[in-house]
Chain A
Amino acid sequence: MKSIRSIAAVSAFVAMAVSAQAQQSDVTVAIQLEPPHLDPTSAAAGAIDSVLYTNVFEGLTRFTSTGAVVPALAKSWTISEDGMTYTFALNEGVTFHDGTTMDAEDVKFSLDRARGEDSANAQKALFAGIAEVTVVDPATVQVTLTQANGNFLFNMAWGDAVIVAPESIEGIKQTPIGTGAFKFANWVEGDRIELVRNEAYWGTPAVLDAATFKFISDPTAAFAAMMAQDIDAFAGFPAPENLPLFEADPRFSVMVGSTEGETILSTNNKMPPLDNVKVRRAIAHAINRQEIIDGAMFGVGTPIGTHFAPHNPDYIDLTANSAYDPDLARQLLAEAGLADGFTTTLKLPPPSYARRGGEIIAAQLRAVGIQTEISNLEWAQWLEEVFRGKDYGLTIVSHTEPFDIGIYARPEYYFQYDNAAFQDVITTLTATNDAAARTELLAKAQTMISEEYVNGYLFQLAYPVVADARLKGLWTNQPTQGNPLTEVTWE
């Protein structure tokens, strides 16, 4: 009798387990890089936003998958006539995951912390124009700018501008406490981060009960994990050559979206002979973009002729400035007094676009007489030697921050491009609110860096997402790095 009862209990349990599997209510999303810590407001690492952006942390505004800026914690706002004062009306009844309320004081704290002198924020420029943040009442906050800034609402949508609480700031790097639809649950370093649904979410709650972000950096392991369905989706699939295999398999769906990742042959503008615009132009004409896109990315990617995302309405196609023309490249080298070519370094970070693209570019440059010494670096070495140390001639990297043409106005940035005229354009642009005037200034900025051949402009990085065919609602584009899961459902 007893054994019959236990068998019944076991079979009931099995039945439950089976039905639970039939209606999967969690998701495992793999990404390539693991975050170094979990504070998006104090590090440049995009992997932090890949896990936390709008899932755990929210800002006043946020991006949608198409790149539009929509209200988030601020439900509405008014802008003064002169464009200098923004008054945000906050959503009411918002609480952080630890139960404390989110109000105007927290907004003031977050913005003041980000723009403070000892701020570790990786994008301090976003907050540079803020003169003062005033708490009007708990649900209203007023931000005064030093000058009108047409980008302000856009800036507030970045992962670096999310709202954090003074009560939980201490442990944010290990236990992030935000206001999002998911709560941080667990971090197994080197393997995964687990999130659970926030039952007290102020907005439309998440459909899924739980979500896991798994870190798989090796392209071969990524392929195997996806094929074996150990993971439900891979956001930013690292081996484009394998996409056709997933496309042919009815279990999976493949989406190739756009990113803000301008993949460029970054050039050290202060290192001879690369400080000569003729030499940089010769490099630009020696490069065959289509061959790089086909060879390194297996055809996935859009050619660019300047540092701007092609899906942006203000983008202008300047690829003709650097059309593939090896004869012209040789002639330009001769004009620069380097008819016999020269040798420089080509330092490559780990992603396949860089490693494979580097070999292709090295071959293309060799064809016009430029020799490159290739060295393959790990990310930490790359950041140390190239990004901070500026000890390089050429490197290949994808700049994934949205709307980042402003980096060319920073002479200390690792390209070391120092052009006062360009810096003026960016200063004027920042102070301009009028859409038509902005378009014109952006066109000017794009043309300037294209005609000065600051860097070799290669292609816009595509964003391949491989997912279980039944999974719906994943971000297919990357207007900023992020994988918001609030609207993700199983069919």
Chain B
Amino acid sequence: MKFGVIIFPGSNCDHDALYALTHNLGQRATEIWHESEELGDADAVFVPGGFSYGDYLRCGAIARFSPVIRSLRRFADSGGLVIGVCNGFQILCEAGLLDGALIRNQDLRFVCRTVELVPGTLDSAFTSACQPDRPLRIPVAHGEGCFFADEATLDRIEAEDRVAFRYSGNNPNGSSRNIAGVLSEGRNVLGMMPHPERACDTAVGSTDGIAVFRSMIAAAGNGLRHAD
């Protein structure tokens, strides 16, 4: 399977994603520059963490206007698999590919720690390889990771079974209903604050992130890929 990893000037988890996808998962992965109008022959797209264009206005607020996001929107609309992690999640929300918004952490401090996640659903291209009763240990590292949406939207996300992950026990940022990751209405776009690409290697503490990518690889193998 071939992943495309988008690189904004301020991306800083791009190398980690490329390393995890190629070394830890044995997949192919290619870099996609933010000015690119094309996504090439990627089967799935990874929008990595970082600070896209500095994020001085609001995280992801500028990135949503970038050329690469225009092509990403077309890719997603045609059913392509897109995973946005951390800043990638923020960008996907700003771009309207996902519901909700990410605001300052409740305690107003950046937080980097390993948290426990439980899958909210196994019925998705990102969680099918997870086990319902086994929490995943995956790190978070963000200052603006508090997932926020109005009550009606939250109700709808839950009613449509679109909560991909919830924080189990310790909620590190005050996210509504402990939501750590959400799916798009088409279920082919995932945004999550925790970093699965940082949890693919025993040397750095956890391999629980692998389940997310294994799910994607399985979905792609089953023919869920974009049309063109």
The judgment on whether A and B are partners is no
Binding site for A on B (CB under 8 A): none
